Chains A and B, each alone.
Chain A
Amino acid sequence: MSDSLIFEKSVPGRRAANLPECDVPRRDPAELLGEGNLRESLPLPEVSELEVVRHYTRLSQRNYSIDYGFYPLGSCTMKYNPKVNEKVARLPGFARLHPLQDETQVQGALQLLYDLHQMLAEISGMDAATVQPVAGAHGELLSLMMIHEYHHVHGSPDRKLVLIPDSAHGTNPASAARCGFTVKSISTNAHGLTDMDALKAALNENVAALMLTNPNTVGLFESDIVEICDLVHQAGGLVYCDGANMNAMLGITRPGDMGFDVMHFNLHKTFSTPHGGGGPGCGAIGVKANLEPFLPIPVVSRREDGSYFLNEDRPHAIGSIHSFYGNFLNAVRGYAYIRALGAKGLREVGENAILNANYIRARIQEHFDIPHNRICMHEVVISASRQKSQSGVRAMDISKRLMDYGFHPPTNYFPLIVPEALMIEPTETESKQTLDAFCDALIQIAKEAAENPEIVKSAPHHTPISRLDETAAVKQLNVKWVPAEA
C-alpha cells in the first residue's frame, strides 16, 4: 500500500515523537487560556516514527528528480545541485540564527549577504542587488514596484503601460497587473525575436517599462538588445530583464552592459539551489544606480570600520516584501556555488550550457520541426507539429512517452507562440552520454509516432500511474482527505 495516505495509516493512540515530560508545575489550560478558546478535538494522524519514515521514503521513490536522472525542463535550468551547498547551509552558524538577533551577533551572515549582493551585481553588470525576493515572480513584483516609484519620483506617475513580448512567461503580465500597470503585448517576428516595428509603434509617454526575457523563451539571444534598450530609454521608460535564462550568459555577457535597468535572478536555477519540488527559491534582483534608492528595506550595508548593519534609513525605499531578509539559507547555497566556481567556472557554465543546447538541436533537427533553427543559447525549442499533422501525436504525448524511456519531459506548450512546443534545456552539468541517450530516445519516439502512434498517444506505460482525469479533478474537486463515514 505504498500509495495510501498517511491518514489511512493512522491508529488511535499510536505515537511517534519522543517529547519531554512537563518539568514545571502544571496548570489547567482552561484556566490559563479560557475554556472558550480551547479546541475540542485535534484530528491529526496517529502513526509510529517508522511509519512516517517509510511513508515519505516510499513517496520519494514516486518522484523524479535531478539526483535520479536527466531533467530537461525548458526555462527551469535543472542543473546539478551540489551536495556541499546542503552541508554548508546546515552549519549551525547559519541554520541556527534568529533573524532578530542584534546585528553585532550576526556579522558573518550579514557579510555573506553583502558579498553575495556585490557578486550578483558584478555578474550581471548592475550596481546593487538584494536577495529579499524569494521567487522569480516575487523579484518581478518588487522590480515593478520600484519602477512605479521611480516614475512617481521623477514626475511621471501617469506611465501606466508595461510592454511584454507575447513569448513571455505568464508571471510577467501577472506581476505587472498586480502593481496596477496595464499590459500591452509586443509581437515576435519571424526570426523568433522582438518585432522592432511593433516595439517602436508601442513606445510613447505612457510606457513605464519593457519587460524582456533574454535570452528569450525561444532560446534565442535578442541580438537587437542594445537598440531595444536605447529606444525604451529615449521614450522615458525603463527596461526589465527577466533573468530566468541567465545561465547561458554567465561570464559571457551581462544584462547591465546591454542597457537593462533592473533584472531578477533565479538562484534556484542559475546558481544551483535546489528547487525543492516547487520552492523555496530565491528571486534576487540587480539594479542600476537609478533604481538603487528604491530597494526594499532592510538593505545590508557596511560601515567604514568594516562592520555590517541592516540599514532602514532609506527614505525612498518601497517598503518590505518579506518578513525578514528573504530565503537566507538559499543565499548561503548560492554564495557557496559562486565561490566554488570563481570567475572562470562561471564562464564555463555559460559556455557549456550553450554547447549542450546546440548539440541537442544538431542531433534531432532532422526528426522534428525547429521553428527557429539556428544557434540557440541555453535551450532549444522544437515543435511536434510534423508529428501532429502526420499521425495526431502531440507534444504532450511525446513528453509522456519520454517518461517510459526514463527521462523527465521537457516543458511543453510553452512558449505560446510556438505550436506544439517542446522546450529543452539540458544545462551544463549533463554529459555527452546523457545527451546522446536523450536524443536517441526522442528520435526513437519520432519513429514510433510515424509507425505506431498509439503507443505514444497512450504513454506513459511504465510509471506508477498513467494519465489522470484532470477534468474530474476540477469538477469533483477533492483537495483534502476526509475520513470515511463510520
Chain B
Amino acid sequence: MAVPAELKYSRSHEWVRVEGDTALVGITDHAQAELGDITYLELPETGRMLAEDEIFGTVESVKAVSDLYSPLSGEVVEVNSEITDAAETINQDAYGAGWMIRIKMSNPEELDHLLSAEQYEQLIRE
C-alpha cells in the first residue's frame, strides 16, 4: 500500500495535501483497497462549511458504505466533479486524480491533529 511521505493522514483513512491556505482531501490507498470496487460517491456542494471530523460525504462499494470525515475545518472551495461519474478513479489513483474536495482551512493548527505517513503506516499495520 502506498503511503506518500509528503501527505498527512486521518485515523478514518483520509489524506490531506496542503497547498497554501487550502488542503486537498481524498481517501487513502489502503481505504480504497479495503472497500473494493467503488461504485458511488456522494460529495458536498462548494461553499459548504465543514468542521473537523464532520461527515462530508459517503463512498460506496458493492456491499459496503463508508462515511467520509473532514480532517480539517473550513469551507469547501472545490469539488472534484470528474470522479462523481467515474468513481473507479479512486481505486486507480487514490492520491492523484481521485482527490475529492479542496478545503480553505479556517484553522490550520488542526493539521497537528493528523498523522504523519509513518504514523499512518503503523495504524494500518495494526
Contact = CB atoms under 8 A, between A and B. Distances in A.
Q: CB–CB under 8 A between A and B in the complex?
A: yes
Interface of A: 470-471, 473-475
A473 B61 CA distance: 12
Given A474-B62, A475-B39, A475-B88, 10 more contacts: A470-B62, A470-B63, A471-B36, A471-B37, A471-B39, A471-B61, A471-B62, A473-B62, A474-B39, A474-B40
Nearest to A474: B39
A473 B63 CA distance: 12
A467 to B, nearest CB: 12
A252 B37 CA distance: 47
B58 to A, nearest CB: 14
Contacts of B39: 471, 474-475
Contacts of A473: 62
Chain B residues touching A, range: under 10
Contacts of B62: 470-471, 473-474
A96 B62 CA distance: 43
A471 B63 CA distance: 9
- Of all A-B residue pairs in the complex, the 6 with the closest CB atoms, nearest first, are A471-B37, A474-B39, A470-B62, A475-B39, A471-B62, A474-B62
Interface in B36-66: 36-37, 39-40, 61-63
13 contacts: A470-B62, A470-B63, A471-B36, A471-B37, A471-B39, A471-B61, A471-B62, A473-B62, A474-B39, A474-B40, A474-B62, A475-B39, A475-B88
A471 to B, nearest CB: 4
Interface string B56-93: 00000111000000000000000000000000100000
A474 B88 CA distance: 12
Contacts of A470: 62-63
A203 B69 CA distance: 28
B42 to A, nearest CB: 14
Contacts, number: 13
A392 to B, nearest CB: 14
A471 B36 CA distance: 9
B68 to A, nearest CB: 19
A421 to B, nearest CB: 14
B86 to A, nearest CB: 10
Nearest to B91: A471
Nearest to B36: A471
A304 B94 CA distance: 73
Nearest to B37: A471
A474 B40 CA distance: 9
A470 B37 CA distance: 10
B38 to A, nearest CB: 9
A473 B39 CA distance: 10
Nearest to B86: A475
Nearest to B38: A471
A473 B62 CA distance: 9
A475 B37 CA distance: 10
Contacts of A471: 36-37, 39, 61-62
A474 B35 CA distance: 15
Contacts of A474: 39-40, 62
A421 B118 CA distance: 32
Nearest to A471: B37
A222 B86 CA distance: 47
Interface string B90-122: 000000000000000000000000000000000
A229 B40 CA distance: 42
Contacts of B63: 470
A470 B40 CA distance: 13
Contacts of B61: 471
A474 B38 CA distance: 10
Interface in B1-39: 36-37, 39
Contacts of A475: 39, 88
Contacts of B88: 475
A411 to B, nearest CB: 14
A471 B62 CA distance: 6
A60 B63 CA distance: 27
Nearest to A473: B62
Contacts of B37: 471
Contacts of B36: 471
A470 to B, nearest CB: 5
A475 B39 CA distance: 6
A465 B62 CA distance: 19
Contacts of B40: 474
A474 B65 CA distance: 14
Nearest to A475: B39
B62 to A, nearest CB: 5
A181 to B, nearest CB: 20
Nearest to B60: A474
B14 to A, nearest CB: 23
B67 to A, nearest CB: 15
A475 B38 CA distance: 9
B83 to A, nearest CB: 13
A80 to B, nearest CB: 31
B36 to A, nearest CB: 8
A474 B37 CA distance: 10
A409 to B, nearest CB: 15
A475 B60 CA distance: 11
A415 to B, nearest CB: 15
A475 B41 CA distance: 12
A473 B36 CA distance: 15
Nearest to B87: A475
A114 to B, nearest CB: 44
Nearest to B63: A470
